Amino acid sequence: MSENSYPEDEFDQIGRDLPAGVHRAPRSTFSKVLPFLIVLIVMPLLAWGVVGLVKHNSTTPSPKAQTTSQPPKKSQPPKASPSPSPTEEPKKEQETEEPKKEFDSAQAASIPVSVFNVDAGNGVAGAAAQKLIDYGFTDSAASNRPDAVLDQTTVYYGSEDLAEAAKAVGEQLGISSVRLAPDIVAEKGRIYVYIKSDYQQ
């Protein structure tokens, strides 16, 4: 049976008034722009709301911790540390001094001594020589040397091995000036005594 065999009704008339096929009426410009306008308006509002909320939370004062003020502690004097018990200090080792070499008077006889009177007066050199002879310097002789130039009464010796003997001569005569003078003495094995006016017998 074909479709045309049925009589037309009111539905057939409605379909005849509508456009046939898939064609639709074109959209207006406003309907196209409306979604973008909504986005442009809504997004700033949302952003402003978020910023305001964050700022509000950050400015809200947080409760401060209650601090209880404590009175300053009184400074206590430092405790005296107990003094250590006295201990015996280590005894210092006694310094062992080398024994001083003393002149052996037995050797005096083998050492010649010349006693010169420079400006001490008559008989002074002879008396000094006699003192040395009495001590043991038996080879002692006195003479005058007025041409000798020196500041004080002095005992001269010419070598180190006569140092102790020369000191012994000075002690016997009370002469403190005892000098090593190898360039002055004529005979290094001999001791020379120059007596001036400062000599005290």
What pTM was computed for the model?
0.51
Tokens of 86: 């006295």
Closest alpha carbon to 196 in 98, 117, 131: 117
- CA triple 174-176-180, angle to 5 deg: 125
Q: Where are the domains of the chain?
A: 105-195
Closest alpha carbon to 113 in 192, 28, 200, 18: 192
Helices (H) and strands (E) in the chain, counts: 4, 5
Percent of the chain with pLDDT over 90: 40
Q: Which residue has the higher pLDDT, 49 or 133?
A: 133
Q: For domain 105-195, which CATH number applies: 3.40.50.10490, 4.10.220.20, 3.40.50.2300, 3.30.70.2390? A: 3.30.70.2390
Q: Evaluate if residue 85 carries a pLDDT over 60.
A: no
Note the pLDDT tens digit of each residue in 17-73: 555 555 555 667 777 777 777 877 878 888 887 777 777 666 544 445 455 556 556
Q: Evaluate if residue 106 carries a pLDDT over 60.
A: yes
CB 92 within 8 A of CB 120: no
Cα–Cα distance for residue pair 41/177, rounded to 1 Å: 125
